Amino acid sequence: MSSRDLTTHTSLLRPARAAVQEPPTSLDGHGVFAIIVFAVVTLIVIWPIRIPIPFAVSERVAKVWHRAAGPEATAARTPDQHIDPGRRGEPLPRVPLTLGSSTSPRGSQRRYISLTHVSAPAIGILFLLATRTIGGEQIRLGIVGDGGVKPYSVLALFISLAYIAISLDATGLLRYLALHVSLKGGRSGPRLFYLLYAFFFLLGLLVGNDPVILSGTAFLVHFTRISGISRPDAWIWAQFSAANISSALLVSSNPTNIVIASGFGVEFTTYSAFMALPTIASGLTALVVVRLIFVTQKAGKWSLMGYILPGGNRGNAGRRSNKTASQSGTQQSEAAAADTSAATAVEGETSPAAPASLHPPQGRSTSPARDIVYIPPYLIPPDVRPREALVDPFGAIFGSIVMAATLIVLVGTSVTGAVEVYEIALPGAAICLLRDILKDLKDGRTERKARQKMSTNQSVESSAEPAVDAPGEAIELQKIGSAPGQTGERENANASSLTASGAVFNLGPARRMLLKSLQFPSWFAKTFPTVTAVFTRLPLPLLPFAFGMFILVESLAHVGFIDIMASGLGKVCSGAGEIGTALFIGCLSVLLCNLGGTNIGACIILVRAIVSTPFSQHLSSESTASITQTAIYALALGSNVGALGGTFAASLAGLLWRESLRQGGIQLRARHIAIWSLLTAPLALLSGLIVVWAQVRSGRWP
């Protein structure tokens, strides 16, 4: 995009009311209240809270529910379980989004209402509506959009691409490729570390950060365990860094990129051409920093890394070394079993045992102090065949073609602007959904035929053999297999009663309908396991959260806060120049990722501020285009690197990452990611911002 086109487009995006009204310089009571509500919502997003429900209320609700549903409702599987397509019909636990429970010492079950990033924005909007701080117009603008940002289009595009990517991952393709890469690394630990970083970086470019977080984290947890790596810190942090930094290149890889490209009218090809070098520079810098952070720590010696990393040796090094030495014989005999069966804990009070591949043979003397090895020099390659991970070869080919075609058409149509971007991605997701449904129906039909054939064979064998111990058993089997008229009778009987745990419950019409509704999730999960698995992994909580943040930001614009903020940003950028603008906007975006409701909220706020009239009115006519262009791409880089900003809530990818680690048995505390981010994010951001400034300064880039 040329400088003249950029200036023209930003002028078109300014709200019409700004042309006739002076930007406000102060806030009234409604404006202060809107800021307070936004701040409270942001704090809840960062630190979710649980509100306990009194026992009297929860027990009363439970009694009413049991009277309405009946005891037979316990036979229905709860909807907090999902089906793994690789193990058809076996439930896997899921974590509820809004409700929780725990058991008190007296035996009663305490219920909680959890306020998280899903519910907090909606509650904040209700408060703003109740106080008449905002009205229906702000709700409409938060959904339909104003100017170039259209929230519904942005989220429809992201969810559609996410379904295609997760459906592709459900075929086993990502695990298949990851195993191939791990085998290419051979026995060299550092070589495999660099290969996996490059693999996750490239994968993040193509499918975005969320699929890499969901699939790559589970792979790394399993891989480090079977490879004897007792401290997976370096591997999981490298994967998280690569997935988030690489998502800055393509518009489709992150919803923040879509917000920026839509808000400023930047073509997809222009965006990717400009962000290629900054993304690569930040990715290489992050790799070097991560490698330097996780060096081998000498046990018993104080060092900077040993102090700040979990399991460090400050103060208690001698005591931990002696304890490790006294347990070395037992650990050598149990290391292999522990590494393959026990969950790896990131937070430990003593220095963990070295990997099984690093233990010396039995009978040799061992050092009383054992080093903390994050990236071992030698590894035992996993004895696995990548082909076994590819559960659906045809689906992998089909999904790859759909993903490639969708991205190519998206890039092509973004140049012309003839259609909305979601109108391209939505049909691709619908095609993958239809294919998954047909696959599940075909697999279910095949399984039913196999069960019927097995049942027929068993019936024939039972009727052919004389029944010695149980003479009536063969007769019963013959009756069941040879009386087709009884099938309808059994179905009619099951329609009015349910057998569970040996008891038969008579159902009335109302309870029968209620029970069927309770059993619907279980039936759907068994009938469509692939579709269920994909939907349970979709970032669907992004929808209420993102729409809520759009509406909250619109409320800030309505009370005048965005214009006041934009005026301040314009003054700073006007005096700082291009290099100062790059550093200021980049660092501010990272900060707001932690304080503005993840990187999505931060991106929405800054896009609205930069595109407004008060921002550009402080810039000279000669510097408007270059400074605005610098701010755009500094924001694009900062909103992606901001996922490494220091808290899990800096991005939705961080929340998904923490949950994936927890399910894999790795407990990672907030202070760990804060320390790692403090070392990684600033340097990675700085290197990318320097490239952004150099490109704008040269004048030879889009």
| SS3 assignment for 361-394 | CCCCCCCCCCCECCCCCECCCCCCCHHHHCCCHH
Mean pLDDT score, 567-579: 91
pLDDT at 151: 84
Angle, vertex CA 670, rays to CA 668 and CA 672, nearest 5 = 65
DSSP helix/strand/coil, 99:
strand
Determine if residue 557 is left, alpha or beta; phi over 0 gives left, psi from -120 to 50 gives alpha, anything else beta.
alpha
| 58-72, 257-271, 361-375, 681-695: range with lowest mean pLDDT | 361-375
Task: State the pLDDT at residue 95.
Answer: 34
pLDDT of residue 314: 37
Mean pLDDT of 208-229: 79
Return d(Cα 219, Cα 386) in angstroms, integer: 12
pLDDT at residue number 649? 79
Q: How many H-runs (helices) and E-runs (strands) does the chain carry?
A: 30, 7
Task: Give one DSSP letter per residue of 631-688, joined into a string.
Answer: HHHHHHHHHHHGGGSSSGGGSHHHHHHHHHHHHTT----HHHHHHHHHHHHHHHHHHH
Q: Closest Cα partner for 189 from 340, 113, 295?
A: 295
Length of the chain counted residue by residue: 702
C-alpha distances out from residue 164 to 153, 158, 432, Å: 17, 10, 6
Residue 460's pLDDT is: 73
Q: How confident is the model at residue 465 (pLDDT cuts 50, 70, 90)?
A: low
Please tell me the predicted confidence (pLDDT) of residue 486.
46
pLDDT at 240: 93
- DSSP 8-state assignment for residue 230: S
Do 246 and 279 form a contact (C-beta atoms < 8 A)? Answer: yes
Specify the amino acid at residue 179. Answer: L
For residue 351 the two structure tokens come to 């220095």
Mean model confidence pLDDT for the chain: 74
Task: Using alpha carbons, list the distances in angstroms from residue 122 to 46, 85, 119.
Answer: 16, 34, 6
How are beta strands 99-103 and 81-83 bridged, if at all?
unpaired
The rounded percent of the chain whose pLDDT value lies above 90 is 21
Q: What is the tens place of the pLDDT at every residue in 409-438? A: 887 776 566 677 788 889 999 999 999 999
pLDDT exceeds 50 at position 11? no
pLDDT band for position 242 (cuts 50, 70, 90): very high
Task: Provide the 3-class DSSP secondary structure of residue 353.
Answer: coil
Is pLDDT above 80 for 524? yes
Residue-wise pLDDT tens digits, 612-651: 889 988 888 888 889 999 999 999 999 999 988 888 878 8
Of all helices (H) and strands (E), which one includes residue 416? helix 393-416
164-188 residue pLDDT tens: 888 888 888 878 887 878 777 777 8
How much is the average pLDDT of 233-242? 92
Rounded to whole angstroms, how far apart are CA atoms 378 and 375? 9
**Which residues neighbour 238 within 8 Å (Cβ) at sequence distance 6 or greater?**
193, 196, 197, 200, 287, 290
Question: What pLDDT, on a 0 to 100 scale, did the predictor assign at position 631?
Answer: 94
CA distances from 276 to 35, 293, 411, 495 (A): 36, 26, 15, 61
Per-residue pLDDT for 213 more than 80?
Answer: yes
Whether the per-residue pLDDT at 301 is higher than 80: the answer is no
**Whether the predicted pLDDT of 142 surpasses 80:** yes
Residue 289 scores a pLDDT above 90: yes
Residue type, 674: A
pLDDT at 679 over 50: yes
Residue 108 has pLDDT above 60, yes or no: yes
Q: Edge-to-edge strands of the sheet including 49-53?
A: 49-53, 109-115, 99-103
Query: If DSSP codes are grouped into helix, strand and coil, which group holds residue 502?
Result: coil
Q: How does residue 281 score in pLDDT terms, banded at 50, 70 and 90?
A: very high
- 113/193 Cα distance (integer angstroms): 42
Categorize the per-residue pLDDT at 376 as very low, low, confident or very high, splitting at 50, 70 and 90.
Answer: confident
Give yes or no for residue 372 having a pLDDT over 90: no
Per-residue pLDDT, averaged over 586-610, amounts to 87
Name the pLDDT band for 384 (thresholds 50, 70, 90): confident
